[in-house]
Amino acid sequence: MTPTFRRRDLVGAAGLLILPAARTAFTYQANERLRLALIGHMYNTGHFFTSAHTYEDVEIVALCDDDQRRIPTVFRRWEELAQQGSDYYRRLVENRPPVYDDFRRMLAERGDRIDGLVVSVFDHNHAVICGPAIRAGKHVFSERPLGLTIGEARALREIAARHPRVATSIRNPGNASPRFRRAVELLRAGAIGPVREVHVWFFRGGPDHREPPQGEMPVPPGLNWEVWLGPAAWRPYHPAWMAYAHWRDFSNGGIGTFGPHAANLAFMALKVDQLWQEPAAAPIRVSARTSRRNPLSFPRWEVVRWEVPARGELPPVTFTWHHGPPEEFPPGSRELLLERMRAAGATAEQLPTLLDETAGALILGSEGAIVADDHNTAFTMLPESKFRDLAQDRPETLPPSRGHYRDWIDACRGGPAPWARFAYAGPLSEFLMLGNLATQFEGELEYDPHAGRIRNHADAN
């Protein structure tokens, strides 16, 4: 019997539970190729569309995109690569994998021939795809952040914990950089002294839409609007809803776009994720100021401040997120960042380049500072003269990475868990989503990371 798929099955808690029974990902032999289904058309799948040939032990067996208008572009690119002499893409062109517009139908029809999913969709559909897939024993590589809400991030982390043989990861490629891993070592070794202050910035700014898209337009051929909406509340089709990082119903905005990259080094090196394992830990306190409160979209600029309690011997630390377009950065933020860098030993020649990145982080210790780039894959230690002779290019004690995607593929075959696994990505995502929550309320929120609840604000909770 052909299963019936209804949109209401994606809404609410049911969305984390639905998935037809299928073979798990643990029955293939070690010498078999890992069979991957690519869902969506963003960064993760974009990598595999044109780089799958670099993984000799991987096979693309299915494509799924609720917007079929994008699939011909993939096939044309494969044809170009085949014409350039690639046997891998010649085989894909000659034996095109089946294409679906509904991931549920794909898994119902081909689940026994799929070992892992590469999920590259908007935030609101992460959980309804990844959760059931993990329950079915499918390895999962998801876009960042981990879901749309704190509740979804926690649910996915907990589901992954109950299925330890399933390899999980979010897209956070900085983790694989040798310099990222070296910076983690240096911070944990106390190279710049105890850290009590971290600043993270992103030069873009929110769209700050005042009203939802108006009117109803015909759904274009090739777009499965119901599947695209997923668990979100129903609304008529309008192309403006599909603008990435514009609407709270579908994304986490700038803090979900670049927060996982730019805040990653400090969050990991300072062991903030340990708070999720400590029932007696003090709460994380978070507050925000914005260009204006916007429950529909994201403000033009925002400054979010987290007060993080001590973790073992590590002192309390304050994280501050500065987000806004370059021409109207949050009032006072640019001056504050430049002043902090100058006080840490940055020269007049260095200052323009240190704050020239689209995004970045400033980690301030008692004995120096680290300024990292947008993905934390390059960094400068301040004052430069003090740390000039300190090796900074590759890790000395932490294991090197074989590559961000390669690490996940190896984990699918029983290798070490990726650094961006859901056990870590969950707390990182929650932390950032907590900042988004703070932009919606006046005053300070107190968050219990172990329990996953706001202690002092019923509406926010």
pLDDT-derived band at 327 (thresholds 50, 70, 90) equals confident
Q: How far apart, in whole angstroms, are the C-alpha atoms of residue 64 and residue 365?
A: 47
What is the enclosing helix (H) or strand (E) of 284?
strand 284-290
- pLDDT attached to residue 147: 98
- pLDDT attached to residue 10: 62
- Residues 332 and 320 sit within 8 Å (Cβ to Cβ): no
Average pLDDT over every residue of 104-128: 98
Distances (CA, A) of 104 to 59, 117, 166, 219: 20, 12, 19, 21
- Give the model confidence (pLDDT) of 354-399 as tens digits: 998 899 999 999 999 999 999 999 999 999 999 999 999 999 999 9
- pLDDT attached to residue 22: 46
Question: What's the CA angle centered on 185, arms 164 and 364, to 5 degrees?
Answer: 115
Distances (CA, A) of 296 to 90, 229, 245, 287, 293: 46, 16, 12, 19, 9
Q: Decide which of 3.40.50, 3.30.360, 3.90.70, 1.10.3470 is the CATH code for 175-207+247-400+428-454.
A: 3.30.360
Strands (E) located in 32-164 = 34-40, 58-64, 99-100, 116-120, 139-142
pLDDT of 86 strictly over 60? yes
In b/e form, how buried is each residue of 70-95, taking b as 16+ CB within 10 angstroms? Answer: ebeebeeebeebbeeeeebbbebbee
- pLDDT attached to residue 1: 47
Question: What's the CA angle centered on 166, arms 170 and 97, to 5 degrees?
Answer: 75
- pLDDT attached to residue 14: 43
- pLDDT attached to residue 13: 45
pLDDT of 82 strictly over 50? yes
- Give the model confidence (pLDDT) of 5-44 as tens digits: 565 566 554 455 445 444 555 655 556 899 999 999 988 8
- pLDDT attached to residue 441: 97
Give the up-direction half-sphere exposure of residue 384: CA atoms within 13 A in the CB hemisphere.
12
Architecture of the domain whose range is 7-166: 3-Layer(aba) Sandwich (3.40)
- Give the model confidence (pLDDT) of 228-253 as tens digits: 999 999 999 999 999 999 999 999 99
**Mean pLDDT, the chain, whole residue set:** 94
pLDDT-derived band at 210 (thresholds 50, 70, 90) equals very high
Which residues lie below 8 Å from residue 325, measured CB to CB, with a gap of 6+?
203, 204, 205, 300, 301
First to last CA, the chain: 43
Strands (E) located in 49-167 = 58-64, 99-100, 116-120, 139-142
pLDDT-derived band at 295 (thresholds 50, 70, 90) equals very high
Domain with CATH 3.30.360 in the chain: 175-207+247-400+428-454
Q: How far apart, in whole angstroms, are the C-alpha atoms of residue 378 and residue 359?
A: 12
- pLDDT attached to residue 4: 58
Which residues lie below 8 Å from residue 410, measured CB to CB, with a gap of 6+?
402, 416
Domain with CATH 3.40.50.720 in the chain: 7-166
- Give the model confidence (pLDDT) of 132-142 as tens digits: 999 999 999 99
pLDDT of 440 strictly over 50? yes
- pLDDT attached to residue 461: 87
- Residues 192 and 363 sit within 8 Å (Cβ to Cβ): yes
- pLDDT attached to residue 16: 52
Q: How does DSSP classify residue 351?
A: H
Closest CA to 186 of 337, 359, 386: 386
Closest CA to 191 of 373, 394, 369: 369
